[in-house]
Chain A
Amino acid sequence: MRRVALHQLAHGRTGDKGNRSSISVIAYDPTHWPLLVEQVTEARVKELFAFRRPSAVKRYLLPKLHAMNFVIDDVLDGGVNGALNLDAHGKSLSFLLLSLEIEIP
Protein backbone atom coordinates (compact mmCIF):
# COMPACT_ATOMS: atom_id res chain seq x y z
CA MET A 1 0.00 0.00 0.00
CA ARG A 2 1.30 3.45 -0.89
CA ARG A 3 -0.19 6.92 -0.84
CA VAL A 4 -0.17 9.25 -3.84
CA ALA A 5 -1.83 12.55 -4.64
CA LEU A 6 -4.98 12.21 -6.76
CA HIS A 7 -3.12 14.50 -9.20
CA GLN A 8 -1.04 11.47 -10.26
CA LEU A 9 -4.12 9.45 -11.16
CA ALA A 10 -6.62 11.98 -12.45
CA HIS A 11 -7.14 15.39 -14.00
CA GLY A 12 -10.01 17.84 -13.68
CA ARG A 13 -11.42 21.31 -14.25
CA THR A 14 -13.47 23.70 -12.13
CA GLY A 15 -16.58 25.58 -13.19
CA ASP A 16 -18.67 28.00 -11.15
CA LYS A 17 -22.19 29.38 -11.04
CA GLY A 18 -22.83 31.88 -8.28
CA ASN A 19 -21.72 30.39 -4.96
CA ARG A 20 -21.58 26.84 -6.35
CA SER A 21 -18.41 25.14 -7.56
CA SER A 22 -18.42 22.15 -9.89
CA ILE A 23 -15.24 20.12 -10.26
CA SER A 24 -14.62 17.18 -12.56
CA VAL A 25 -12.25 14.33 -11.72
CA ILE A 26 -11.21 12.18 -14.68
CA ALA A 27 -9.09 9.04 -14.40
CA TYR A 28 -6.03 8.92 -16.66
CA ASP A 29 -6.09 5.13 -16.58
CA PRO A 30 -9.47 3.32 -16.65
CA THR A 31 -8.05 0.62 -14.38
CA HIS A 32 -7.84 3.21 -11.58
CA TRP A 33 -11.52 4.09 -11.91
CA PRO A 34 -12.84 1.69 -9.21
CA LEU A 35 -10.19 2.99 -6.82
CA LEU A 36 -11.34 6.56 -7.41
CA VAL A 37 -15.02 5.66 -6.99
CA GLU A 38 -14.13 4.04 -3.68
CA GLN A 39 -11.89 6.77 -2.31
CA VAL A 40 -12.89 10.09 -3.90
CA THR A 41 -16.20 10.19 -2.05
CA GLU A 42 -18.64 12.92 -1.14
CA ALA A 43 -17.58 12.57 2.50
CA ARG A 44 -13.88 13.03 1.77
CA VAL A 45 -14.49 15.99 -0.52
CA LYS A 46 -16.72 17.57 2.13
CA GLU A 47 -13.90 17.13 4.64
CA LEU A 48 -11.30 18.58 2.25
CA PHE A 49 -13.47 21.66 1.68
CA ALA A 50 -14.68 21.89 5.31
CA PHE A 51 -12.81 25.18 5.86
CA ARG A 52 -15.09 26.72 3.20
CA ARG A 53 -18.21 25.41 4.98
CA PRO A 54 -19.94 23.56 2.09
CA SER A 55 -23.69 23.23 2.63
CA ALA A 56 -23.83 20.17 0.34
CA VAL A 57 -21.54 17.99 -1.75
CA LYS A 58 -23.01 15.85 -4.51
CA ARG A 59 -21.05 13.41 -6.69
CA TYR A 60 -22.23 12.30 -10.14
CA LEU A 61 -20.55 9.31 -11.79
CA LEU A 62 -19.90 8.99 -15.54
CA PRO A 63 -18.55 5.43 -15.85
CA LYS A 64 -18.17 5.52 -19.65
CA LEU A 65 -15.83 8.51 -19.34
CA HIS A 66 -14.14 7.23 -16.16
CA ALA A 67 -15.10 10.58 -14.74
CA MET A 68 -17.00 12.03 -11.81
CA ASN A 69 -18.47 15.47 -11.32
CA PHE A 70 -18.64 17.11 -7.90
CA VAL A 71 -21.13 19.87 -7.20
CA ILE A 72 -20.12 21.72 -4.03
CA ASP A 73 -22.57 24.29 -2.68
CA ASP A 74 -21.80 27.58 -0.94
CA VAL A 75 -17.99 27.33 -0.95
CA LEU A 76 -17.05 30.44 -2.94
CA ASP A 77 -17.66 33.17 -0.33
CA GLY A 78 -20.39 34.43 -2.67
CA GLY A 79 -18.35 33.80 -5.83
CA VAL A 80 -17.82 36.70 -8.22
CA ASN A 81 -20.66 38.46 -6.40
CA GLY A 82 -18.89 39.01 -3.14
CA ALA A 83 -15.72 37.01 -2.60
CA LEU A 84 -12.56 38.91 -1.71
CA ASN A 85 -10.45 36.08 -3.10
CA LEU A 86 -8.18 36.96 -6.04
CA ASP A 87 -9.69 33.87 -7.65
CA ALA A 88 -13.32 34.73 -6.93
CA HIS A 89 -14.48 32.05 -9.40
CA GLY A 90 -12.57 29.37 -7.50
CA LYS A 91 -11.00 28.25 -10.77
CA SER A 92 -7.90 26.97 -8.94
CA LEU A 93 -9.94 24.63 -6.73
CA SER A 94 -9.66 21.61 -9.06
CA PHE A 95 -6.05 21.44 -7.93
CA LEU A 96 -7.09 21.48 -4.28
CA LEU A 97 -9.24 18.45 -5.02
CA LEU A 98 -6.36 16.83 -6.94
CA SER A 99 -4.22 17.14 -3.81
CA LEU A 100 -6.41 14.54 -2.08
CA GLU A 101 -4.40 11.49 -0.98
CA ILE A 102 -5.26 8.14 -2.53
CA GLU A 103 -4.15 4.74 -1.26
CA ILE A 104 -2.89 2.43 -3.99
CA PRO A 105 -2.67 -1.31 -3.28
Chain B
Amino acid sequence: MTSWTLRIGCGAGFSGDRWDAAVPVVETLAQGGGPAVLMFETLAERTLALAQLQRQGDPEAGYEPSLERFVRPVLARCIAAGIPIVGNFGAANPAGAARRLQQLADALGLGRLRIAVVEGDDLNAALTTQQLQSLLPSHLAGKPLVSANAYLGAREIAGALRAGAQIVVTGRVADPALALGPMLAHFGWGEQDWDLLAAGTMAGHLLECGAQVTGGYFADPGVKDVPQLADVGFPIVEMQADGRFVVTKAASTGGCVTRRTVTEQLLYEVHDPAAYLTPDVTADISEVDLVEAGPDRIEVRGVRGHPAPDRFKATVCYEGGWLAEGEISYAGPNATARARLAGEVVRERLRKLELGPVPLRCDLIGVASVFADDAGRWMEQSQPDNTAQDVRLRIAGATGTRADAEAVAREVLALYTCGPAGGGGVRTHVTPRLASDSCYVPREWLRPAWRFAQ
Protein backbone atom coordinates (compact mmCIF):
# COMPACT_ATOMS: atom_id res chain seq x y z
CA MET B 1 0.00 0.00 0.00
CA THR B 2 1.42 3.39 -0.99
CA SER B 3 0.80 6.54 0.97
CA TRP B 4 -1.12 7.79 -2.07
CA THR B 5 -3.96 5.57 -1.01
CA LEU B 6 -6.42 6.89 1.57
CA ARG B 7 -8.52 4.27 3.28
CA ILE B 8 -11.86 5.17 4.79
CA GLY B 9 -13.76 2.71 6.94
CA CYS B 10 -17.35 2.96 8.10
CA GLY B 11 -18.25 2.16 11.71
CA ALA B 12 -22.03 2.72 11.57
CA GLY B 13 -24.61 3.14 8.83
CA PHE B 14 -27.49 4.32 11.00
CA SER B 15 -28.34 5.23 14.56
CA GLY B 16 -29.51 1.69 15.32
CA ASP B 17 -26.39 0.01 13.98
CA ARG B 18 -24.15 -2.43 15.88
CA TRP B 19 -22.05 -0.78 18.56
CA ASP B 20 -19.08 -3.09 18.00
CA ALA B 21 -18.98 -3.02 14.19
CA ALA B 22 -16.16 -0.46 14.06
CA VAL B 23 -13.68 -2.61 16.01
CA PRO B 24 -12.53 -4.88 13.13
CA VAL B 25 -12.63 -1.91 10.75
CA VAL B 26 -10.21 0.08 12.92
CA GLU B 27 -8.02 -2.98 13.44
CA THR B 28 -7.75 -3.42 9.66
CA LEU B 29 -7.03 0.28 9.09
CA ALA B 30 -4.42 0.38 11.87
CA GLN B 31 -2.61 -2.75 10.66
CA GLY B 32 -2.49 -1.37 7.10
CA GLY B 33 -0.41 1.50 8.44
CA GLY B 34 -1.19 4.11 5.76
CA PRO B 35 -3.39 7.17 6.07
CA ALA B 36 -6.91 6.21 7.14
CA VAL B 37 -10.12 7.71 8.49
CA LEU B 38 -13.10 6.19 10.31
CA MET B 39 -16.60 7.54 9.62
CA PHE B 40 -19.89 7.12 11.46
CA GLU B 41 -23.23 7.89 9.78
CA THR B 42 -26.00 7.92 12.38
CA LEU B 43 -28.43 10.62 11.25
CA ALA B 44 -31.57 9.61 9.36
CA GLU B 45 -34.16 12.16 8.21
CA ARG B 46 -36.16 12.13 11.43
CA THR B 47 -33.31 11.36 13.84
CA LEU B 48 -32.37 15.02 13.89
CA ALA B 49 -35.89 16.11 14.83
CA LEU B 50 -35.90 13.61 17.70
CA ALA B 51 -32.53 14.99 18.80
CA GLN B 52 -33.89 18.54 18.69
CA LEU B 53 -36.77 17.48 20.96
CA GLN B 54 -34.29 15.93 23.40
CA ARG B 55 -32.25 19.13 23.43
CA GLN B 56 -35.37 21.14 24.28
CA GLY B 57 -35.69 18.98 27.41
CA ASP B 58 -31.97 19.06 28.26
CA PRO B 59 -29.58 21.66 26.73
CA GLU B 60 -26.64 19.24 26.98
CA ALA B 61 -28.52 16.50 25.06
CA GLY B 62 -29.48 16.40 21.40
CA TYR B 63 -26.56 14.42 19.99
CA GLU B 64 -26.58 10.73 19.03
CA PRO B 65 -27.82 8.87 22.14
CA SER B 66 -25.42 5.97 21.48
CA LEU B 67 -22.43 8.28 20.86
CA GLU B 68 -20.33 6.80 23.64
CA ARG B 69 -21.35 3.22 22.79
CA PHE B 70 -20.18 3.73 19.19
CA VAL B 71 -16.91 5.52 19.93
CA ARG B 72 -15.63 4.01 23.20
CA PRO B 73 -14.62 0.63 21.69
CA VAL B 74 -12.30 2.26 19.12
CA LEU B 75 -11.26 5.67 20.42
CA ALA B 76 -7.94 4.71 22.04
CA ARG B 77 -6.87 2.65 19.02
CA CYS B 78 -7.81 5.44 16.59
CA ILE B 79 -5.87 8.06 18.55
CA ALA B 80 -2.81 5.79 18.88
CA ALA B 81 -2.83 4.91 15.17
CA GLY B 82 -3.51 8.47 13.99
CA ILE B 83 -6.90 7.58 12.47
CA PRO B 84 -9.23 10.61 12.57
CA ILE B 85 -12.92 9.98 13.28
CA VAL B 86 -15.60 11.84 11.33
CA GLY B 87 -19.24 11.48 12.33
CA ASN B 88 -22.59 13.24 11.98
CA PHE B 89 -23.35 12.04 15.52
CA GLY B 90 -23.47 15.67 16.63
CA ALA B 91 -27.10 15.72 15.41
CA ALA B 92 -28.80 18.75 16.99
CA ASN B 93 -25.88 19.51 19.35
CA PRO B 94 -22.40 19.00 17.86
CA ALA B 95 -20.78 21.07 20.63
CA GLY B 96 -22.45 18.90 23.27
CA ALA B 97 -21.22 15.76 21.51
CA ALA B 98 -17.70 17.21 21.43
CA ARG B 99 -17.81 17.81 25.20
CA ARG B 100 -19.02 14.25 25.77
CA LEU B 101 -16.22 12.87 23.58
CA GLN B 102 -13.59 14.86 25.51
CA GLN B 103 -15.01 13.43 28.76
CA LEU B 104 -14.72 9.97 27.24
CA ALA B 105 -11.11 10.68 26.24
CA ASP B 106 -10.38 11.88 29.78
CA ALA B 107 -11.91 8.71 31.24
CA LEU B 108 -9.77 6.59 28.91
CA GLY B 109 -6.61 8.55 29.87
CA LEU B 110 -6.12 9.92 26.36
CA GLY B 111 -5.72 13.55 27.42
CA ARG B 112 -6.84 16.60 25.54
CA LEU B 113 -8.01 15.79 21.99
CA ARG B 114 -8.33 18.13 19.02
CA ILE B 115 -12.08 17.87 18.43
CA ALA B 116 -13.68 20.03 15.75
CA VAL B 117 -17.35 20.79 15.26
CA VAL B 118 -19.04 21.71 11.99
CA GLU B 119 -21.96 24.11 12.33
CA GLY B 120 -24.27 26.16 10.17
CA ASP B 121 -26.79 23.51 9.12
CA ASP B 122 -29.52 24.65 11.55
CA LEU B 123 -31.78 26.95 9.54
CA ASN B 124 -33.51 28.28 12.66
CA ALA B 125 -30.16 29.73 13.72
CA ALA B 126 -28.79 30.62 10.28
CA LEU B 127 -31.80 32.33 8.72
CA THR B 128 -34.26 35.02 9.68
CA THR B 129 -37.82 33.85 10.28
CA GLN B 130 -38.81 35.64 7.10
CA GLN B 131 -36.13 33.87 5.05
CA LEU B 132 -37.12 30.48 6.43
CA GLN B 133 -40.83 31.05 5.86
CA SER B 134 -40.15 32.05 2.24
CA LEU B 135 -38.60 28.62 1.58
CA LEU B 136 -41.33 26.45 3.04
CA PRO B 137 -44.00 24.66 1.02
CA SER B 138 -47.38 26.38 1.40
CA HIS B 139 -48.88 23.71 3.69
CA LEU B 140 -46.21 24.52 6.29
CA ALA B 141 -46.70 28.28 6.28
CA GLY B 142 -46.80 29.52 9.87
CA LYS B 143 -46.65 25.97 11.28
CA PRO B 144 -44.19 25.45 14.16
CA LEU B 145 -41.17 23.42 13.02
CA VAL B 146 -39.42 20.90 15.25
CA SER B 147 -36.24 21.12 13.18
CA ALA B 148 -34.97 22.62 9.94
CA ASN B 149 -31.52 21.66 8.72
CA ALA B 150 -29.61 21.98 5.47
CA TYR B 151 -27.40 19.19 4.15
CA LEU B 152 -23.93 20.73 4.26
CA GLY B 153 -21.08 19.54 2.05
CA ALA B 154 -17.57 18.21 2.61
CA ARG B 155 -15.49 21.40 2.68
CA GLU B 156 -15.81 22.20 6.38
CA ILE B 157 -14.92 18.61 7.34
CA ALA B 158 -11.87 18.86 5.09
CA GLY B 159 -10.85 22.17 6.67
CA ALA B 160 -11.01 20.73 10.17
CA LEU B 161 -8.94 17.68 9.18
CA ARG B 162 -6.30 19.81 7.44
CA ALA B 163 -5.97 21.78 10.67
CA GLY B 164 -5.24 18.55 12.54
CA ALA B 165 -8.57 17.55 14.03
CA GLN B 166 -8.56 14.08 15.55
CA ILE B 167 -12.37 13.98 15.65
CA VAL B 168 -14.78 15.97 13.49
CA VAL B 169 -18.34 16.19 14.83
CA THR B 170 -21.04 17.38 12.46
CA GLY B 171 -24.77 17.84 12.51
CA ARG B 172 -26.60 17.52 9.20
CA VAL B 173 -24.25 16.99 6.27
CA ALA B 174 -24.84 15.02 3.09
CA ASP B 175 -23.97 11.46 4.15
CA PRO B 176 -21.28 10.96 1.44
CA ALA B 177 -19.56 14.17 2.63
CA LEU B 178 -18.36 12.22 5.68
CA ALA B 179 -16.04 10.35 3.29
CA LEU B 180 -15.48 13.08 0.71
CA GLY B 181 -14.26 15.54 3.38
CA PRO B 182 -11.26 13.37 4.34
CA MET B 183 -10.47 12.83 0.64
CA LEU B 184 -10.44 16.59 -0.03
CA ALA B 185 -8.12 17.07 2.93
CA HIS B 186 -5.79 14.23 1.91
CA PHE B 187 -5.58 14.67 -1.86
CA GLY B 188 -6.16 18.41 -2.13
CA TRP B 189 -8.78 17.99 -4.87
CA GLY B 190 -10.10 21.28 -6.22
CA GLU B 191 -13.61 22.60 -5.77
CA GLN B 192 -14.31 22.07 -9.46
CA ASP B 193 -12.59 18.73 -10.00
CA TRP B 194 -16.06 17.37 -10.71
CA ASP B 195 -15.05 13.83 -11.72
CA LEU B 196 -12.91 13.43 -8.59
CA LEU B 197 -15.58 14.93 -6.33
CA ALA B 198 -18.13 12.57 -7.88
CA ALA B 199 -15.90 9.54 -7.38
CA GLY B 200 -15.37 10.48 -3.74
CA THR B 201 -19.07 11.09 -3.30
CA MET B 202 -20.04 7.70 -4.70
CA ALA B 203 -17.38 6.05 -2.52
CA GLY B 204 -19.05 7.79 0.41
CA HIS B 205 -22.46 6.69 -0.85
CA LEU B 206 -21.27 3.07 -0.85
CA LEU B 207 -19.86 3.43 2.69
CA GLU B 208 -22.65 5.41 4.34
CA CYS B 209 -25.03 2.52 5.01
CA GLY B 210 -22.39 0.35 6.62
CA ALA B 211 -22.95 -3.36 6.01
CA GLN B 212 -25.46 -2.75 3.21
CA VAL B 213 -22.54 -2.93 0.74
CA THR B 214 -20.78 -5.90 2.36
CA GLY B 215 -23.56 -8.50 2.39
CA GLY B 216 -25.93 -6.96 4.91
CA TYR B 217 -29.51 -6.47 3.69
CA PHE B 218 -28.65 -8.80 0.79
CA ALA B 219 -29.08 -12.48 1.74
CA ASP B 220 -31.87 -14.48 0.11
CA PRO B 221 -31.22 -18.06 1.23
CA GLY B 222 -30.61 -20.50 -1.58
CA VAL B 223 -30.77 -17.68 -4.11
CA LYS B 224 -28.03 -15.28 -3.05
CA ASP B 225 -26.28 -16.48 0.07
CA VAL B 226 -23.90 -14.54 2.29
CA PRO B 227 -21.13 -16.27 4.26
CA GLN B 228 -21.10 -15.72 8.04
CA LEU B 229 -23.83 -13.09 7.93
CA ALA B 230 -23.91 -12.89 11.73
CA ASP B 231 -20.34 -11.57 11.65
CA VAL B 232 -20.82 -9.28 8.66
CA GLY B 233 -17.81 -6.98 8.31
CA PHE B 234 -18.22 -3.27 7.70
CA PRO B 235 -16.86 -1.61 4.56
CA ILE B 236 -13.56 0.06 3.75
CA VAL B 237 -12.86 2.11 0.62
CA GLU B 238 -9.33 2.45 -0.73
CA MET B 239 -9.22 5.71 -2.66
CA GLN B 240 -6.46 6.80 -5.05
CA ALA B 241 -5.52 10.39 -5.87
CA ASP B 242 -6.95 9.99 -9.40
CA GLY B 243 -10.40 8.94 -8.15
CA ARG B 244 -10.02 5.21 -8.76
CA PHE B 245 -11.26 3.26 -5.79
CA VAL B 246 -11.85 -0.21 -4.43
CA VAL B 247 -14.60 -1.27 -2.03
CA THR B 248 -13.58 -3.96 0.44
CA LYS B 249 -14.28 -4.79 4.09
CA ALA B 250 -12.70 -5.36 7.49
CA ALA B 251 -10.32 -8.33 7.69
CA SER B 252 -11.40 -11.60 9.34
CA THR B 253 -15.10 -10.82 9.20
CA GLY B 254 -18.13 -12.38 7.53
CA GLY B 255 -20.18 -11.01 4.69
CA CYS B 256 -18.93 -10.44 1.15
CA VAL B 257 -18.15 -7.68 -1.32
CA THR B 258 -19.23 -8.70 -4.82
CA ARG B 259 -20.46 -7.02 -7.99
CA ARG B 260 -23.95 -7.88 -6.79
CA THR B 261 -23.69 -6.37 -3.29
CA VAL B 262 -22.05 -3.24 -4.69
CA THR B 263 -24.61 -2.83 -7.49
CA GLU B 264 -27.53 -3.01 -5.03
CA GLN B 265 -25.99 -0.36 -2.80
CA LEU B 266 -24.78 1.82 -5.68
CA LEU B 267 -28.40 2.27 -6.81
CA TYR B 268 -29.86 2.46 -3.28
CA GLU B 269 -31.95 5.63 -2.87
CA VAL B 270 -30.71 6.88 -6.23
CA HIS B 271 -33.27 8.33 -8.62
CA ASP B 272 -31.78 9.43 -11.97
CA PRO B 273 -28.40 7.62 -12.12
CA ALA B 274 -27.04 10.42 -14.31
CA ALA B 275 -27.79 13.06 -11.67
CA TYR B 276 -27.19 12.09 -8.04
CA LEU B 277 -27.36 15.48 -6.34
CA THR B 278 -25.20 16.45 -3.36
CA PRO B 279 -24.03 19.84 -2.06
CA ASP B 280 -20.56 19.11 -3.45
CA VAL B 281 -21.21 17.73 -6.92
CA THR B 282 -23.78 16.21 -9.26
CA ALA B 283 -22.59 12.63 -9.69
CA ASP B 284 -23.29 10.54 -12.78
CA ILE B 285 -23.13 6.76 -12.36
CA SER B 286 -24.90 5.87 -15.59
CA GLU B 287 -21.65 4.58 -17.14
CA VAL B 288 -20.15 3.00 -14.01
CA ASP B 289 -18.49 -0.38 -14.32
CA LEU B 290 -17.61 -2.72 -11.47
CA VAL B 291 -14.52 -4.91 -11.77
CA GLU B 292 -13.51 -7.78 -9.51
CA ALA B 293 -10.08 -6.93 -8.09
CA GLY B 294 -9.59 -9.92 -5.78
CA PRO B 295 -11.60 -11.69 -3.08
CA ASP B 296 -14.06 -9.22 -1.47
CA ARG B 297 -12.60 -6.41 -3.56
CA ILE B 298 -14.58 -4.50 -6.19
CA GLU B 299 -13.10 -1.64 -8.18
CA VAL B 300 -15.55 1.08 -9.17
CA ARG B 301 -14.80 2.78 -12.50
CA GLY B 302 -16.40 5.41 -14.64
CA VAL B 303 -18.03 7.79 -12.17
CA ARG B 304 -18.44 11.21 -13.79
CA GLY B 305 -19.18 14.55 -12.17
CA HIS B 306 -20.94 17.79 -13.07
CA PRO B 307 -21.31 21.09 -11.20
CA ALA B 308 -23.12 21.00 -7.87
CA PRO B 309 -26.72 22.24 -7.56
CA ASP B 310 -26.95 25.96 -6.76
CA ARG B 311 -29.03 25.37 -3.64
CA PHE B 312 -28.61 23.37 -0.45
CA LYS B 313 -31.31 20.79 0.17
CA ALA B 314 -32.87 21.03 3.62
CA THR B 315 -35.21 18.83 5.63
CA VAL B 316 -37.82 20.40 7.87
CA CYS B 317 -39.64 18.34 10.50
CA TYR B 318 -42.93 19.16 12.18
CA GLU B 319 -45.36 17.47 14.51
CA GLY B 320 -47.41 14.89 12.66
CA GLY B 321 -50.13 13.80 15.10
CA TRP B 322 -50.29 10.39 16.78
CA LEU B 323 -50.01 6.79 15.66
CA ALA B 324 -51.98 4.12 17.50
CA GLU B 325 -51.12 0.46 16.94
CA GLY B 326 -52.52 -2.70 18.44
CA GLU B 327 -51.96 -6.38 17.65
CA ILE B 328 -53.60 -9.66 18.65
CA SER B 329 -52.96 -13.23 17.45
CA TYR B 330 -55.35 -15.99 16.35
CA ALA B 331 -54.22 -19.54 15.55
CA GLY B 332 -55.63 -22.90 14.53
CA PRO B 333 -58.87 -23.70 12.71
CA ASN B 334 -60.70 -20.67 11.27
CA ALA B 335 -57.94 -18.33 12.57
CA THR B 336 -58.12 -15.98 9.57
CA ALA B 337 -61.89 -15.52 9.88
CA ARG B 338 -61.59 -14.78 13.59
CA ALA B 339 -58.83 -12.21 12.95
CA ARG B 340 -60.94 -10.54 10.25
CA LEU B 341 -63.94 -10.39 12.58
CA ALA B 342 -61.79 -8.81 15.30
CA GLY B 343 -60.78 -6.09 12.85
CA GLU B 344 -64.41 -5.42 11.95
CA VAL B 345 -65.33 -5.20 15.64
CA VAL B 346 -62.69 -2.54 16.25
CA ARG B 347 -63.78 -0.55 13.19
CA GLU B 348 -67.40 -0.56 14.31
CA ARG B 349 -66.53 0.39 17.89
CA LEU B 350 -64.42 3.33 16.74
CA ARG B 351 -67.27 4.57 14.53
CA LYS B 352 -69.58 4.50 17.53
CA LEU B 353 -67.10 6.22 19.86
CA GLU B 354 -67.25 9.27 17.56
CA LEU B 355 -63.59 10.21 17.82
CA GLY B 356 -62.26 12.70 15.32
CA PRO B 357 -61.57 11.25 11.87
CA VAL B 358 -59.34 8.21 12.39
CA PRO B 359 -57.86 6.70 9.22
CA LEU B 360 -57.66 3.03 10.17
CA ARG B 361 -55.80 0.09 8.69
CA CYS B 362 -56.13 -3.65 9.39
CA ASP B 363 -53.31 -6.06 8.54
CA LEU B 364 -53.50 -9.83 8.74
CA ILE B 365 -49.86 -10.58 9.43
CA GLY B 366 -49.10 -13.99 7.94
CA VAL B 367 -51.80 -13.52 5.30
CA ALA B 368 -51.38 -10.02 3.87
CA SER B 369 -49.72 -6.99 5.41
CA VAL B 370 -46.69 -4.98 4.27
CA PHE B 371 -47.38 -5.09 0.50
CA ALA B 372 -50.89 -3.76 1.16
CA ASP B 373 -51.89 -0.11 0.81
CA ASP B 374 -53.58 1.91 3.55
CA ALA B 375 -56.84 2.17 1.57
CA GLY B 376 -57.25 -1.62 1.52
CA ARG B 377 -57.25 -2.07 -2.27
CA TRP B 378 -54.59 -4.78 -2.12
CA MET B 379 -56.60 -6.73 0.46
CA GLU B 380 -59.59 -6.69 -1.93
CA GLN B 381 -57.76 -7.56 -5.14
CA SER B 382 -55.21 -10.09 -3.93
CA GLN B 383 -57.77 -12.50 -2.44
CA PRO B 384 -55.47 -13.48 0.39
CA ASP B 385 -55.18 -17.03 1.60
CA ASN B 386 -57.94 -17.49 4.15
CA THR B 387 -56.66 -20.88 5.28
CA ALA B 388 -53.67 -19.52 7.24
CA GLN B 389 -53.69 -20.94 10.76
CA ASP B 390 -51.42 -18.48 12.55
CA VAL B 391 -52.52 -14.91 11.99
CA ARG B 392 -51.69 -11.70 13.79
CA LEU B 393 -54.19 -8.91 13.40
CA ARG B 394 -52.62 -5.47 13.42
CA ILE B 395 -54.73 -2.35 13.68
CA ALA B 396 -53.15 1.03 13.03
CA GLY B 397 -54.84 4.40 13.28
CA ALA B 398 -53.73 8.00 12.78
CA THR B 399 -55.16 10.50 15.24
CA GLY B 400 -54.76 14.16 15.99
CA THR B 401 -54.56 13.72 19.75
CA ARG B 402 -52.98 11.38 22.23
CA ALA B 403 -56.38 10.71 23.83
CA ASP B 404 -57.84 9.47 20.55
CA ALA B 405 -54.79 7.28 19.92
CA GLU B 406 -55.20 5.74 23.36
CA ALA B 407 -58.88 5.09 22.61
CA VAL B 408 -57.88 3.11 19.50
CA ALA B 409 -55.34 1.09 21.50
CA ARG B 410 -57.91 0.33 24.22
CA GLU B 411 -60.33 -1.08 21.67
CA VAL B 412 -57.69 -3.59 20.58
CA LEU B 413 -56.96 -4.45 24.20
CA ALA B 414 -60.69 -5.00 24.86
CA LEU B 415 -60.71 -7.74 22.19
CA TYR B 416 -59.41 -10.03 24.95
CA THR B 417 -62.91 -10.30 26.44
CA CYS B 418 -65.21 -8.68 23.86
CA GLY B 419 -63.70 -10.01 20.61
CA PRO B 420 -63.72 -13.38 18.80
CA ALA B 421 -62.64 -16.64 20.44
CA GLY B 422 -59.07 -17.50 21.23
CA GLY B 423 -57.35 -14.15 20.73
CA GLY B 424 -54.05 -13.78 22.57
CA GLY B 425 -50.87 -11.76 22.89
CA VAL B 426 -52.21 -8.21 22.70
CA ARG B 427 -49.59 -5.50 22.37
CA THR B 428 -50.40 -1.83 21.92
CA HIS B 429 -48.30 1.24 21.20
CA VAL B 430 -49.17 4.90 21.09
CA THR B 431 -46.49 7.15 19.58
CA PRO B 432 -46.21 10.79 18.53
CA ARG B 433 -45.27 11.17 14.89
CA LEU B 434 -42.87 13.52 13.18
CA ALA B 435 -43.47 14.49 9.59
CA SER B 436 -40.91 16.02 7.26
CA ASP B 437 -40.64 17.90 4.01
CA SER B 438 -37.84 19.25 1.84
CA CYS B 439 -36.95 22.76 0.80
CA TYR B 440 -34.02 24.31 -1.03
CA VAL B 441 -31.83 27.10 0.38
CA PRO B 442 -29.80 29.56 -1.74
CA ARG B 443 -26.10 28.92 -1.13
CA GLU B 444 -25.32 32.51 -0.20
CA TRP B 445 -27.80 32.37 2.69
CA LEU B 446 -25.71 29.87 4.67
CA ARG B 447 -22.28 30.23 6.27
CA PRO B 448 -21.18 26.71 7.16
CA ALA B 449 -18.08 26.73 9.36
CA TRP B 450 -15.88 24.53 11.50
CA ARG B 451 -14.12 25.37 14.76
CA PHE B 452 -12.23 23.54 17.46
CA ALA B 453 -14.45 22.75 20.43
CA GLN B 454 -13.75 24.58 23.67
Contacts and interface: CB of A to CB of B under 8 A. Distances in A.
Contacts of B438: 18
Interface stretch (B87-95, B164-172, B259-267): B259-267
Interface in A64-99: 64-65, 67, 69, 71, 77, 80-87, 92-93, 96
A86 B368 CA distance: 12
B217 A13 contact: yes
B43 interface: no
B263 A67 contact: yes
Q: How large is the interface on B (under 10, 10 to 19, 20 to 34, 35 or more residues)?
A: 35 or more
Contacts of B260: 11, 26, 28
B370 A13 contact: no
Contacts of B433: 81-82
Contacts of A86: 363, 365, 369-370, 394, 396
B288 A62 contact: yes
Contacts of B265: 13
Interface string B35-63: 00000000001100000000000000000
A15 B270 contact: yes
Given A85-B372, A87-B370, A24 B288 contact: no
Contacts, number: 113
B267 A69 contact: yes
A15 B268 contact: yes
A20 B271 contact: yes
B268 A51 contact: no
A77 B373 contact: yes
B107 interface: no
Contacts of B302: 64
Given A62-B288, A85-B361, A13 B394 contact: no
A47 to B, nearest CB: 12
B397 A24 contact: no
Contact of A16 (B266, B269, B371): B269
Contacts of A96: 371
Given A16-B269, A22-B269, A60-B273, A85 B264 contact: no
Nearest to B289: A64
Contact of A67 (B267, B272, B394): B267
B377 A51 contact: yes
A67 B273 CA distance: 11
B290 interface: yes
Highest count of chain A CB atoms <10 Å: which of B45, B267, B375, B397: B267
9 contacts: A15-B267, A18-B438, A62-B288, A65-B259, A69-B267, A71-B272, A82-B320, A82-B435, A92-B370
